Structure 1
Amino acid sequence: MNAEADDLDAVDRNLLRLLQEDGRRTTLDLAARVGLSPTGTSLRVKRLFREGYITAVRAVLNPAKIGRGTLVFIEVRLDHTAPHIFERFAEAVTKAPEVLECHMVVGGFDYLVKARISEMAAYQDFLTRVILALPGVKETHTYASIGDVKPDALLPV
């Protein structure tokens, strides 16, 4: 573990686990589960936010219900690597609403893009309009997910 993780005590870790499971838990519920007063619990949760251990609380949506039922992973290889190309690529990919995540990676390609689209029939349009239009894209390889084995896993704390 790193030094910041070492600063967390058992109560902090328990609060992080509980809030990852359900971010809508009330302070009263959290207090009862960790054995602190509601005030003490509230102060700890506020500190975990302030210190950056918790960065957001949001609802997890059902992708199929909102027309984004197909998950694809796209390996992207750039035609050349230079700081300005990386900057332009990152700026462009952050503007694409279909893109859920984009990671710069080390290996046989430069980026791994995770995107949600309505269905495979719409994939060609997405690939042409969004991915191939990104700055410096030379080559792509796409993998469509046919099942979620461990989606949205909780971080071990």
Structure 2
Amino acid sequence: MLDDTDRRILRHYQHDPRLGPADLAELAGVTPATCARRLDKMQASGVIRANRAVIDWRALGYEVEVSLRITLDKTQPRAFDEFMQDARKVPDVVEIQTFLGRVDLRLSVIARDMAHYQQIYRSAILTLPHIADIEALMHVARIKSDEGLPL
């Protein structure tokens, strides 16, 4: 488990993973060697999964985001596996979530505009296997989007 020192390091690291070990160590109140060793340990144990670039897809011309709530035909034994295998191949699907309940999956789809979304929907989404029902929710605003944890 994590101790208070690990939490201090993570608290600062999650807000700016570009910080070098010396700067991060200073903010966390530890030596650079301790900071580097603990970061390595947290990466090896899977606490820190990745460092990645977060790209603003709107800056790249994607103006439309739609959540598709999908119910699958569960009479087919491989419905989930086959659907997810094919859904992963659609480049405009940026997130896939599974649920227990009436809705089986949610796809988050981005498009440049409504005409582009309609083309994606018709050619890539509706052709996915085993769809019993689909509901589209047009994204209007992102009120909160925070991947940081309250450490």
How high is the TM-score relative to the length of structure 2? 0.91
The alignment status of 1:141 with 2:135, answered yes or no, reads yes
The alignment status of 1:91 with 2:85, answered yes or no, reads yes
Q: Distance in 1 between matches of 2:85 and 2:146?
A: 25
User: What runs of 5+ residues in structure 1 fail to find an aligned partner?
Assistant: 1-6
Secondary structure of the 1:150 match is: coil
Secondary structure of the 1:147 match is: coil
Secondary structure of the 1:112 match is: strand
Q: 1:18 to 1:129 in 2, by over 3 A?
A: farther
The 10-residue stretch of structure 1 (113-122 or 50-59) with the greater mean CA deviation from structure 2: 113-122
Q: How many residues align?
A: 151
Trace 1:40-59 onto structure 2 (pairs within 5 A): 40-59=34-53
Structure 1 outlier segments of 4+, above 6 Å: none
User: What runs of 5+ residues in structure 2 fail to find an aligned partner?
Assistant: none
Equivalent residue in structure 1 for 2:150, among 122, 131, 156: 156
**Structural RMSD (CA):** 1.5
How high is the TM-score relative to the length of structure 1? 0.88
Q: Deviations over 1:134-156 (max 9, x none)?
A: 11012211111111100243233
Q: Distance in 2 between matches of 1:153 and 1:115?
A: 20
Q: Distance in 1 between matches of 2:13 and 2:128?
A: 37
Equivalent residue in structure 2 for 1:73, among 67, 88, 94: 67
Q: Distance in 1 between matches of 2:5 and 2:76?
A: 45
Q: 1:39 to 1:128 in 2, by over 3 A?
A: same
Aligned-pair distance for 1:48? 0.7
Equivalent residue in structure 2 for 1:130, among 107, 119, 124: 124
Q: 1:45 to 1:83 in 2, by over 3 A?
A: farther
Aligned-pair distance for 1:81? 4.7
Aligned-pair distance for 1:38? 0.7
Secondary structure of the 1:16 match is: helix
Equivalent residue in structure 1 for 2:113, among 97, 105, 119: 119
Which residue identity is paired with 2:121? L
